[in-house]
Chain A
Amino acid sequence: GNSVTQMEGPVTLSEEAFLTINCTYTATGYPSLFWYVQYPGEGLQLLLKATKADDKGSNKGFEATYRKETTSFHLEKGSVQVSDSAVYFCALNEGGGKLIFGQGTELSVKP
């Protein structure tokens, strides 16, 4: 079946450090891919998405590129801020309303 694997957290970084959160997927076709972010005490917010191979999604300084060859969708940001502290979920669209989520990666950014 389809699945998403994320790097385990928690990840702790200093402010202005470079961030990478790895995400790989297994799917029978070419699913749309998403990164959602969940700030403490809140629901999930869509951070960025890519719907086909080689697409790059970007938002708020975050980027991720849909890599078909490596079945990956790694999240990157050049300089993190304390306000980026949150849990990040990678997800793929399985169709029919179903999103397959990764386990989530907790990011903590220290000043």
Chain B
Amino acid sequence: DGGITQSPKYLFRKEGQNVTLSCEQNLNHDAMYWYRQDPGQGLRLIYYSQIVNDFQKGDIAEGYSVSREKKESFPLTVTSAQKNPTAFYLCGSAGRLWGNTIYFGEGSWLTVV
């Protein structure tokens, strides 16, 4: 089935540790995105990539890093520099043509204790 797979669904980490969230898509989409959602809030853009080996910072990129070595994959690393990492993380992908829709994975819950 075509879609976006995020893993793991739930992740617990100790403060000070880096953690990497996986995002894989088989929709042949060029663009991929990472958003963060905090309770009662909307989706805030962390990073996005329009093409392999290129990515841009979103509104809240500090404390995060990404890579785009393959079209299908866009992993997000939450570093120890991120002050409030506990959140729900959403990965999305979209085509690059006008009028395209962004589709999302099931999300990953990260809890830092």
Are A and B a genuine interacting pair, yes or no?
A: no
Residues of B within 8 A of A (CB): none
